[in-house]
């Protein structure tokens, strides 16, 4: 009855807002809840007329001047003062005592609303706050507001004074300044030297590196990850093929806004803000610069293969190596042919070079064009600059690339031949030579054909050599001691060794004859020792009579020598002398 009497205060309308007037203190309040609080300190057993003046004045004092006796906080409502005491002061006194304990986990709190929120968000996964413009849903209202401002309205009122970074929250700006500009890393891992500016990154590091936790699993395949957004990215890119961020200047599309920005700055704007202090290297990504320093200058390779001597600077390269070399796994397959690889970049390179015939990197000094930028750099260093920084310690061999030096040592000095033919006994130190052997010897493939004649060959450079020597008659290799010119460097070397240095490394096993090259030795065997060539029968012997063999044998070993009248060249046959004069002196 008393409570009903208290709620008999009449509602008033001020400024189009419904208010309630207290019959004890004449305060106008917005709702009955405030009205209940305003009666604190009054004796409600009395009627309004019986309430004493002291009580009403005392109540006004409580409403207007409720102060905390521990700090400077004051409130107009007693309930606010009580909440303040429980939240800030009672918590310190009774830190270990908490009223609400979660039965599903170790979460505890003193506030019921926080406990209910914890259960709904963590265990029940209730997301009652939904975006009206997209399918986004969240458990917190502030997250929804943050989503709308960030994604749809793109409101970023906090700007960094040192760079172009913008954000919608001040704490994100503070974290950015501490992490990027000041280099402050408050959060450190207790198990290793990892340190970061963000607590979230520390949790991710601990779960992924030390605990090996991958709670987010794909329902369509075996993919698992530590981060939820990685799973979402995996589903969108691999299974759905979604790429929401598209470049306005080309056909590039990606699933990440960061990747789009990187694409624009690197491809279209050509910006490379991160420069190496030790060389001229520059890149668009800071991580690429760090990788460059560790790889090129410091030569740090922390990731080692347990099955071979392979070492690398990145874990993903080690994983790719194991999958490709030891496990034989090739995830990336070409849709136009049977090509398969373990690297996405190799697949893109294959498509652009083999199927699309694209050669975007062109030499400014000649007509050379290639698919890879590193090939162009290699071409310039080798052909135009002739830079060969890798030298063999056992001979005069020099190379532009370290792998070429390693292949040279294995092939020439160590005699190691890793690549063996499965159809015959052929073995070589180079995979390229094995492919060439199979295509030319077993498959009889001659894909490179001359457009001027019927010549066909297995190698492209053989076709180029044929055109230059036969049709164009280009002889760019000249002897410094005479007028001899040829189309191939090896022919020039043979000429110098045979004519000027008189080096004859090829010996006849039947007599004392020595030759400067293998071709001369074969000619000697065919003409003198008919039927004998390294223990093998020569078909030409069937066409020679026994008398002819005796004549040639007597001719060679009786001392008949044909000498050149223009130089010191001498030979056993008149034909060889004639060829010498025509090729050397009358060109």
Q: What is the predicted pLDDT for the residue at 586?
A: 57
549-to-97, 328, 531, 559, 574 alpha-carbon distances in Å: 116, 58, 10, 16, 17
- pLDDT value at residue 547: 46
Dist CA 264 CA 318 (whole Å): 30
Residue 3, φ and ψ in degrees, nearest 5: -65, -40
Contacts of 296 by beta carbon, 8 Å cutoff, 6+ apart: 279, 281
Tokens representing residue 183 in the block: 């280099």
Name residue, tokens 């990027």: 180
DSSP string for 541-563: GGGS-HHHHHHHHHHHHTT--EE
CA–CA separation, 446 and 423 (whole Å): 19
What class has domain 216-268?
alpha beta
Looking up tokens 């189009």 gives 16
* Tokens, residue 242: 């979604």
Strands (E), 389-459: 390-391, 398-399, 419-420, 427-428, 448-449, 456-457
Q: Cβ atoms within 10 A of the Cβ of 104, count?
A: 10
Instruction: From residue 333, give the alpha-carbon distance in Å to each of 339, 345, 432.
Output: 6, 12, 22
- Do 361-471 and 478-555 share a fold? yes
Q: Burial level of 414, CB count in 10 A (0-12/13-18/19+)?
A: exposed
pLDDT at 256: 79
Contact predicate 194/188, CB 8 Å: yes
For the domain bounded by 361-471, which CATH number is listed?
3.30.160.60
Per-residue tokens: 100: 């609400």
3-state secondary structure 63-123: HHCEECCCCCCEECCHHHHHHHHHHHHHHHHCCCCCCEECCCCCCEECCHHHHHHHHHHHH
Which residue(s) pair with 454 in the sheet?
none
User: 478-555 belongs to which CATH class?
Assistant: alpha beta
Structure-block tokens of residue 366: 């000649």
Kindly report the three-state secondary structure assignment for every residue of 221-278.
Answer: CCCEECCHHHHHHHHHHHHCCCCCEECCCCCCEECCHHHHHHHHHHHHCCCCCEECCC
Q: Classify the C-alpha dihedral 379-385-389-390 as positive or negative.
A: positive
Residue by residue, pLDDT tens for the chain (587 residues) are: 444 444 444 444 444 444 555 555 555 555 555 454 444 444 443 444 444 444 444 444 444 568 888 888 888 888 888 888 877 777 555 555 667 888 888 888 878 888 888 888 888 888 888 999 888 888 888 888 888 888 888 788 889 998 888 888 888 888 888 888 888 888 889 988 888 888 888 888 888 888 888 888 899 888 888 888 888 888 888 888 788 888 989 988 887 788 888 888 888 888 888 888 888 888 888 888 888 888 888 878 888 888 888 888 888 888 888 888 888 888 888 888 888 887 888 888 888 888 888 888 889 888 888 888 888 888 888 888 888 888 899 888 888 888 888 888 888 888 888 888 888 988 888 888 888 888 888 888 888 888 888 888 888 888 888 888 888 888 888 899 998 888 778 888 888 888 888 888 888 888 888 887 777 888 888 888 765 444 444 344 444 444 444 555 555 555 556 777 667 777 777 777 777 766 666 55
What torsion do the CA atoms of 509, 515, 519, 522 make, to the nearest 10 degrees? -30
**What's residue 365's pLDDT?**
87
What are the boundaries of each domain within the chain? Answer: 2-64, 216-268, 361-471, 478-555
Q: How many CB atoms lie within 10 A of CB 397?
A: 16
Residue 230 CA to residue 224 CA, distance in Å, equals: 9
Residue 15 zone, left/alpha/beta (φ > 0; ψ -120 to 50; rest): left
């Amino acid at each position: 009855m008393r409570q009903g009497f208290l709620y008999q205060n009449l509602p008033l309308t001020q400024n189009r807002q419904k208010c309630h007037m207290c019959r004890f203190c004449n305060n106008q309040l917005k709702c009955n809840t405030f009205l209940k609080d305003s009666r604190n300190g009054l004796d409600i057993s009395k009627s309004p007329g019986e309430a004493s003046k002291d009580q009403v004045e005392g109540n006004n004092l409580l409403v207007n001047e409720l102060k905390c006796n521990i700090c400077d906080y004051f409130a107009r409502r007693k309930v606010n003062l009580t909440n303040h005491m429980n939240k800030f002061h009672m918590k310190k006194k009774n830190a270990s005592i908490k009223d609400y304990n979660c039965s599903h986990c170790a979460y505890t709190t003193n506030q019921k609303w926080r406990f209910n929120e914890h259960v709904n968000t963590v265990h029940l996964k209730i997301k009652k706050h939904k975006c009206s413009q997209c399918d986004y849903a969240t458990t917190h209202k502030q997250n929804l507001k943050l989503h709308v401002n960030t994604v749809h309205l793109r409101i970023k009122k906090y700007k960094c004074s040192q760079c172009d970074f913008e954000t919608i929250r001040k704490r994100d700006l503070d974290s950015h300044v501490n992490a990027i500009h000041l280099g402050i890393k408050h959060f450190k891992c207790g198990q290793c030297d990892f340190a970061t500016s963000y607590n979230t990154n520390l949790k991710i590091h601990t779960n992924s590196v030390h605990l090996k936790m991958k709670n987010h699993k794909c329902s369509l395949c075996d993919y698992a990850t530590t981060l939820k957004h990685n799973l979402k990215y995996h589903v969108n890119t691999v299974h759905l093929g979604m790429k929401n961020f598209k470049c306005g200047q080309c056909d590039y599309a990606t699933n990440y806004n960061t990747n789009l920005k990187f694409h624009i700055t690197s491809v279209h704007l050509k910006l490379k803000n991160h420069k190496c202090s030790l060389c001229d290297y520059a890149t668009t990504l800071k991580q690429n610069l760090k990788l460059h320093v560790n790889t090129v200058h410091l030569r740090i390779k922390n990731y080692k293969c347990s099955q071979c001597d392979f070492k690398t600077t990145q874990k993903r390269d080690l994983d790719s190596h194991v999958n490709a070399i030891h496990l034989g796994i090739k995830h990336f397959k070409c849709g136009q042919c049977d090509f398969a690889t373990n690297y996405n970049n190799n697949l893109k390179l294959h498509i652009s070079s083999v199927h699309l015939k694209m050669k975007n990197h062109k030499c400014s000094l000649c007509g050379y064009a290639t698919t890879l930028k590193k090939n162009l750099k290699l071409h310039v260093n080798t052909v135009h600059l002739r830079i060969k920084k890798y030298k063999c310690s056992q001979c005069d061999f020099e190379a532009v690339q370290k792998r070429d030096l390693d292949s040279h040592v294995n092939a020439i000095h160590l005699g190691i031949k890793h690549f063996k033919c499965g159809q015959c006994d052929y073995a070589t130190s180079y995979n390229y030579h094995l492919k060439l052997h199979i295509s030319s010897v077993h498959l009889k493939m001659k894909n490179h054909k001359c457009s001027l004649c019927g010549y066909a060959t297995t190698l492209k450079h053989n076709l180029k050599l044929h055109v230059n020597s036969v049709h164009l008659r280009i002889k760019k290799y000249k002897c410094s001691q005479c007028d001899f010119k040829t189309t191939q460097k090896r022919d020039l070397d043979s000429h110098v060794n045979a004519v000027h240095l008189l080096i004859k490394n090829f010996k006849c096993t039947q007599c004392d004859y020595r030759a400067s090259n293998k071709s001369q030795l074969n000619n000697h065997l065919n003409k003198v020792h008919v039927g004998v060539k390294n223990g093998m029968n020569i078909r030409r012997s069937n066409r020679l009579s026994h008398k002819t063999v005796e004549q040639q044998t007597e001719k060679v070993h009786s001392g008949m020598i044909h000498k050149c009248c223009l130089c010191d060249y001498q030979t056993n046959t008149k034909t060889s002398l004639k060829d010498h004069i025509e090729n050397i002196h009358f060109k």
